[in-house]
Amino acid sequence: MILLGILAASGAGVTGGVAGYIAGGNSPSIVATVDKFDFASDARTTLGTGLSSARRGAAGMSNPTVAGYAAGGFTGSNVTTVDKFAFPSDSRTTLGTGLSLARERLAGFSNAGVAGYAAGGRQTTVDKFAFPSDSRTTLATGISAPVVVPVGMSNNGVAGYSAGGFNYGPLAPTAVVNKFAFPSDSRTTLGTGLSAAKDGGGGMSNNGVAGYYAGGNPGPTSNVDKFAFPSDSRSALGTGLSSGKLGMVGMSNSGIAGYVGGGASSSTVDKFDFSNDSRTTLATGLSSARQYSAGFENEAS
């Protein structure tokens, strides 16, 4: 997410970000590990300080140049914990106020410099954390159905999205994409949803340009759906993921590239060049194969 909403809306003035982070997850044991990928080289390091506890299914939120967040998750039971990693030191603190409800495998999206959001997790609840105070409120209107493993996408200054997920109403995946307009946080539902009812994909965001839903179940599939901003029209990438995957996580270097990492029994990280949506696979993937991690990024402009 780039720092200035005016640049996000126009797609202008973008420079490369600093790093992306993939935090926690399980395969099969739950871990606290946080891997960091330097955007200039795609080289991976692992933070000396991981999550405050080993957990899976946290939502990632980002406040560029300031901090990244991993909200909620499962440690053996669902938690309300929100860990905050300060940029550029990557030092970790834990917010005094966590989620309003303990839940896991929820979607995170962000309005850079303004707020981060944690949506779903077998609930319709959407919690909002105001930057820089990190104070929490809960939106009056949540997502349209109680889903687990939805995917979050962000268009800074414009809207955040919660896409797909496993709906605990009819007990089936959904193709619905909810859109929350910034700054009002009013919710609408896109006329065109995902190309199929899916859960457990990975999300990437190219602010002012497009959001992406990659992979997911049933399948698992390698398909990548692309939603063009601001029209929200959907197309499918000619080249999808390097293999069909479920339970991955996305991170983004807006204007440059998006990344989809991990998944069931996978340490692979696929990279999509936003200039043409071509895919490569990083020579160095995650430090261990895992799924249901949280992704956040430090994108400077």
> Does residue 123 fall inside a structural domain?
yes
> Does residue 20 fall inside a structural domain?
no
Is-contact 94 83, C-beta < 8 A? yes
pLDDT above 70 (res 268): yes
> Does residue 141 fall inside a structural domain?
yes
Q: What is the mean pLDDT of the chain?
A: 94
DSSP per-residue letters across 192-216:
S--SS-BBS-EEEEETTTEEEEE--
Give the model's pLDDT for residue 206: 97
C-alpha distances in angstroms, 100 versus 21, 237, 264?
24, 37, 29
The residue that leads in pLDDT, 7 or 189, is: 189
pTM for the structure as a whole: 0.94
pLDDT tens readout for residues 1-50: 333 333 333 343 455 799 999 999 998 899 999 999 999 999 999 999 99
> Does residue 301 fall inside a structural domain?
no
pLDDT tens readout for residues 68-124: 999 999 999 999 999 999 999 999 999 999 999 999 999 999 999 999 999 999 999
Long-range contacts of 174-179 (CB under 8 A, 24+ apart): 174/145, 174/147, 174/199, 176/144, 176/145, 177/227, 177/232, 178/119, 178/143, 178/144, 179/232
> What's the domain count of the chain?
1
> Does residue 121 fall inside a structural domain?
yes
Residues 6+ apart with CB under 8 A from 109: 61, 116, 117, 119, 152, 153, 154, 160, 161, 162, 180, 203, 205
Give the model's pLDDT for residue 15: 59
Q: Residue 289: give the domain boundaries.
A: 5-14+26-296
pLDDT tens readout for residues 131-161: 999 999 999 999 999 999 999 999 999 999 9
pLDDT tens readout for residues 201-226: 999 999 999 999 999 999 899 999 99
> Does residue 19 fall inside a structural domain?
no
| CA–CA dist 179, 219 (Å, integer) | 26
User: Could you tell me where the beta strands, DSSP code E, fall in 52-209?
Assistant: 59-63, 67-74, 78-86, 91-94, 107-111, 115-119, 126-130, 135-138, 147-148, 151-155, 159-163, 166-167, 172-173, 177-181, 186-189, 202-206
Give the model's pLDDT for residue 295: 98
Domain of residue 123, CATH code? 2.120.10.80
Give the model's pLDDT for residue 27: 87
> Does residue 196 fall inside a structural domain?
yes
> Does residue 193 fall inside a structural domain?
yes
